[in-house]
Amino acid sequence: MKTNQAAKEVKSSPIVLANWGRRFIAWFVDYLIIVLMLGYFQLEALETKIFPPVLLPKAPGTDLSIWSPLSILIFFLYFTFSEWYFGRSIGQLLLNLRLVEVRGRGVSLRASAIQSIGKSNPLLLFFDCSIGRFYQPCRERRQRLFNRLSNTIVIFIGESSRIIKQHGYLKEP
């Protein structure tokens, strides 16, 4: 059985749940990186040749796509494989975050794929985070809905001057 690089690292320090702000900034960094790459490779021009116009709705009064099937697929693959193999994406690396299963071990490819569904589309991410913020079982572990479905959490692996204990978990304020 193949093991990923993140699963090889053994953490002896306590698990500290990352705060929502740090997680959003990490996602936004990843979003900017992927969008710039997609723009550089002119993905939208390729999509207009592949997909019928009805599948590529435009924002009112602009020539900007509201969503794009290929970009959603690329986001999904990026998050799935980077968080499965390395335990984190580039944005998470910059902000000292890591995706782990609830016991602190590296995630499986299946769990990484499930939790990546919610981050692949910004509109879906809004609902994913909203449910996670207001649904009590998700809120205790600071999980998005798709983190809960995949049994994963996002932890902070850097040095923190302030850590609080709440609902039996160590958390960044």
- pLDDT tens string 2-40: 455 554 453 457 889 999 999 999 999 999 999 899 888
Instruction: Tell me what pLDDT residue 66 has.
Output: 65
Q: How does residue 90 score in pLDDT terms, banded at 50, 70 and 90? A: very high
Please tell me the distance from the alpha carbon of residue 83 to that of residue 136, in angstroms, as a whole number.
25
- pLDDT tens string 38-86: 888 888 778 878 888 777 777 777 666 667 888 889 999 999 999 999 9
Q: What is the pTM for the complete model shown?
A: 0.84
Nearest partner of 170 among 51, 46, 13, judged by Cα: 13
**Is residue 106 a contact partner of residue 7, using CB atoms and an 8 Å limit?**
yes
Residues 138-148 as b or e (16 or more Cβ within 10 Å = b):
beebbbbbbbb
Instruction: Tell me what pLDDT residue 63 has.
Output: 66
